[in-house]
């Protein structure tokens, strides 16, 4: 997918070359000269979209160029991943993705790209806790009661998720394995619509990131059982961790990072990393993330090296779990 040429620049087409008016190969020294597209693999209003929009404004200010968020949904984030992998390596198309980047190779045997070979990492953004939540009138009141109820009613309980490869689906998979049941999964095109149906009582329970659930748990619109991280979440002080509540094997955080096509010049990657560092130090970003139950990653993780190490470690972690489950995205 090639970079859009603004209408105001169409007059340049009469010149001898597009390079004369800023097109053609990327010039790292002058980057950025045009707006940047930040590609989100999931629906607008979902947790990854929320994180993307939080960092876009301060990054744009630091870079001196507009950043436009584009939602490219479908196939567990692999459509968006393929789009950016095939994009011009000029820094004008950037992917934000979560844990699904590390699970895609196991879930999609015919994946059109390699997360490790077809991208350069820019830096990690945040590691978002997940919550186990239910419709407000669901009978179980605690995680212990939920486990008992699910075991006794496995044929009728519905487990919502955002589709194969989504963090909500992976978390649900861990719950099913830990409890020893196979539930009726109800996949949605994103956690936004799944959460809407959960509030409305159309499905029983699900996993979702605190960026999507904290405010609704606090308002009593959904029932919260636990957070899936080793430490409690400050924004949700009444929720125990899964380990405290009896499900120590259900531990998952949804880390996010930025990616560009593999041939992107290192100088451009460095500029994007520097802008991300500034964004994650922005007090408004820190405050907003805090209300959503998460924090920016430590400064030492906002690097391509730390990001690549995380990606490699997570691929090694999730591949055997997914292969054992038999789950596939097609």
CA distances from 304 to 12, 90, 121, 209, 258 (A): 36, 17, 5, 24, 9
- pLDDT at residue 303 greater than cutoff 80: yes
Instruction: Give the chain's domains with CATH numbers.
Output: 34-127+254-325 (3.40.190.150), 129-227 (3.40.190.10)
pLDDT digits (tens, 9 = 90+) for 243-267: 999 999 999 999 999 999 999 999 9
- Report percent pLDDT > 90 for the chain: 78
Q: Are 144 and 245 in contact (CB under 8 A)?
A: yes
- Average pLDDT of the chain to the nearest whole number: 90
Integer Cα distance of 120 and 98 in angstroms: 15
DSSP state of 98: -
Q: Which of 57, 110, 81, 60 is nearest to 257 (CA)?
A: 81
Q: Give pLDDT, residue 26.
A: 66
- pLDDT at residue 112 greater than cutoff 50: yes
Query: pLDDT: is 25 or 122 the higher one?
Result: 122
Q: Give pLDDT, residue 132.
A: 98
Integer Cα distance of 41 and 101 in angstroms: 10
pLDDT digits (tens, 9 = 90+) for 52-106: 999 999 999 999 999 999 999 988 899 999 999 999 999 999 999 999 999 999 9
Cis peptide before 233 (omega within 30 of 0): no
Q: Give pLDDT, residue 330.
A: 65
Q: Give pLDDT, residue 328.
A: 83
pLDDT tier for residue 153 given thresholds of 50, 70 and 90: very high
Stretch 308-319: mean pLDDT: 95
Q: Give pLDDT, residue 74.
A: 86
- Does this model's pTM top 0.85? My answer is no
């Amino acid at each position: 997918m090639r970079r859009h040429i603004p209408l105001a620049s169409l007059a340049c087409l009469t010149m001898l070359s597009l390079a004369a008016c800023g097109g053609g190969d990327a010039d790292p020294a002058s980057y950025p000269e045009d707006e940047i597209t930040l590609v989100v693999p999931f629906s607008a209003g979902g947790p990854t979209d929320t994180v993307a929009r939080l960092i876009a404004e301060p990054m744009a200010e630091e870079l001196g160029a507009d950043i436009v968020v584009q939602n490219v949904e479908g196939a567990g984030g692999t459509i968006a991943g393929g789009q950016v992998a095939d994009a011009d390596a000029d820094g004008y198309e950037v992917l934000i993705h979560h844990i699904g980047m590390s699970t895609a190779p196991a879930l999609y045997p015919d994946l059109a790209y390699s997360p490790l070979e077809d991208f350069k990492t820019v830096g990690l953004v945040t590691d978002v806790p997940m919550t186990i939540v239910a419709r407000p009138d669901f009978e179980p009141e605690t995680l212990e009661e939920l486990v008992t109820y699910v075991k006794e009613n496995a044929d009728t309980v519905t487990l919502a998720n955002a589709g194969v490869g989504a963090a909500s689906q992976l978390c649900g998979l861990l719950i099913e394995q830990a409890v020893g049941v196979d539930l009726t999964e109800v996949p949605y095109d994103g956690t936004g619509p799944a959460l809407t149906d959960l509030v409305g009582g159309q499905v029983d329970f699900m996993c979702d990131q605190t960026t999507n659930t904290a405010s609704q748990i606090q308002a009593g619109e959904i029932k919260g059982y636990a957070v899936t991280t080793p430490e409690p979440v400050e924004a949700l002080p009444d929720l125990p961790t899964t380990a405290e509540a009896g499900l120590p094997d259900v531990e998952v955080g949804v880390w996010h990072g930025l990616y560009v096509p593999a041939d992107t010049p290192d100088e451009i990657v460095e500029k994007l990393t520097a802008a991300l560092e500034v964004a994650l130090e922005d007090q408004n970003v820190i405050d907003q993330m805090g209300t959503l139950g998460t924090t920016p990653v430590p400064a030492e993780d906002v690097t391509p090296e730390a990001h690549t190490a995380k990606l490699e470690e997570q691929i090694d972690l999730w591949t055997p779990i997914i292969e054992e489950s038999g789950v596939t995205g097609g």
